[in-house]
Homo-oligomer: A and B are copies of this chain.
Amino acid sequence: MRNLLLRLCFDGKNYHGWQIQKNATSVQGVFQDSLRSVTGENCEIKACSRTDAGVHAREFCVNVFLNHRISCGGLKMALNRVLPRDIVVFDCAQVPFDFHARYSCVAKEYVYKILNTPVRSPFLEGYVLHYWCEMDLAAIQKSASFFVGTHDFSSFCTLDSRQKGDFRRTIKSFLVTRDEDIVTITVKADGFLYNMIRIMVGTLLKISQKRLKPSEISAILEAKNRALAGPTVRPCGLYLNRVFYE
């Protein structure tokens, strides 16, 4: 038996997130069926995280314990032949037995993409948030710097049964860049709370609209009150971009 780390890339447009759900198509469900059809084994799939409906992944890591003796390259090719065209395996490698896609992960990087033009783009539908108001990049960049470091992010978290315990997370970097019409927000942290990035982005847009001041971010963090932060923006602009292991 080997422990295999598979790196996937998927378009989340047509899925109700990663995790298997009743009465909804999930990436995990489709991937599990493909893995079974290739190997004949019913492996338990350990994933680096959950993603919400409509969220994409440029890198999503899972590990599985496999008895089948297929080579890593062979498994990658075989899976890509049976997977639908919106899910791809771009890497497969053997890892130590104690490797766990979620618990071994030391950091993750998400990207949020905003198309900032008066008219939407047919090609980017479902892949960006279309935002037509002028964006104050300087104010957004200034605000973003207040998120960096270790904070209790309760104000930037949708409360549900999944979120328990410690709300402290460490944001290692928070970059806001503009390339022509596309504004890209890149956030790297040791972990993320439920909807954390989507609420941070919603708050930054509120600052861009002058409905909040950059310096208010600190007070919102301290208040630990979800109601003070901005709205949760749509999932379509969100991508899990990189997953870091030691």
Contacts and interface: CB of A to CB of B under 8 A. Distances in A.
Interface of A: 9-11, 56, 80, 85-90, 119-123, 125, 127
Nearest to A123: B11
List the 3 shortest-distance A-B pairs measured between CB atoms, nearest first. Answer: A11-B122, A86-B122, A85-B125
Contacts of A87: 122
A88 B121 contact: yes
A121 B86 contact: no
Given A11-B125, A125-B11, A120 B86 contact: no
A85 B11 contact: no
Nearest to A239: B123
B123 A127 contact: yes
A201 B125 CA distance: 28
A122 B85 contact: yes
B10 A120 contact: no
A87 B120 CA distance: 9
Given A11-B125, A125-B11, A120 B56 contact: no
Contact of A122 (B10, B121, B123): B10
Given A11-B125, A125-B11, A119 B86 contact: no
